[in-house]
Chains A and B, each alone.
Chain A
Amino acid sequence: MALGFFTDTTLCIGCKACEVACKQWNQLPDDGFAFTGMSYDNTVHLGAATWRHVAFVERTVTASGPPSGQMSGVGDFSWLFLSDVCKHCERAGCLEACPTGSLVRTEFGTVYVQPDICNGCGYCVPACPFGVIARREDDGRAWKCTLCYDRLKGDLEPACAKACPTDSIQFGELATLRHKAQARVEALHDRGMTEAYLYGADAAAQPGTEGLHCFFLLTDRPEVYNLPPDPVVPTRHTKESWRAMAASSLGLLAAATVVVLGARLAERRGRR
Chain B
Amino acid sequence: MMHPHGPGHTAPRPDGRNIDPALGLLEGEGALAKVRDLAGAFPGRAGRLMEAKTPADALARATATGLPTYYDQPLLQEPVWKWYIPAYFYLGGLSGAASVLGAVAEMGGGRAFRRLAQGCHLVSVAGEILGTGLLIADLGRPARFLHMMRVFRPSSPMSVGTWVLLGSGAFSTGALLLSRRSGALGGLGHVASAGAGLLGLALSGYTGVLLANTAVPLWQEARKSLPSLFLAASAASAGELLEFLPLRRIERKMARHFAAMGQAATLVSMIALEREAGRVPRVTRPLRRGLPGALWQGARLLTAAGLGLGLLSRRHRLGALLGTAGAIALRFAVHHAGKHSARDPRASFAVQRAKPRP
Contact = CB atoms under 8 A, between A and B. Distances in A.
A88 B296 CA distance: 37
A102 interface: yes
B7 interface: no
Nearest to A234: B213
Nearest to A242: B209
Interface stretch (A11-19, A169-177, A179-187, A256-264): A256-264
A51 B29 CA distance: 11
Contact of B17 (A29, A102, A143): A29
Interface stretch (A1-9, A191-199, A222-230): A222-230
Interface stretch (A63-71, A92-100, A160-168, A210-218): A92-100
Interface string B338-358: 100010010011001100000
Nearest to A250: B201
Size class of the B contact interface (CB-based, 8 Å): 35 or more
B215 A38 contact: no
A62 to B, nearest CB: 11
B252 to A, nearest CB: 11
B75 A138 contact: no
A137 B265 CA distance: 38
- Interface size bracket, A side: 35 or more
Contacts of A190: none
A188 interface: no
Contact of B101 (A143, A256, A262): A256
Contacts of B157: 97, 238, 241
Contact of A260 (B109, B138, B206): B109
Contacts of A149: 29
A231 B214 CA distance: 12
B12 to A, nearest CB: 12
A38 B142 CA distance: 38
Of A44, A242, A252, which is in contact with the most chain B CB atoms at under 10 Å from its CB? A252
- A142, A226, A256 — which one has the most chain B CB atoms within 10 A of its CB? A256
Interface in B41-91: 41-45, 48-49, 52-55, 58-59, 67-71, 73-81
Interface string A133-172: 1111111111100101110000000000000000000000
A140 B45 contact: no
Nearest to A115: B32
B81 A122 contact: yes
B317 interface: no
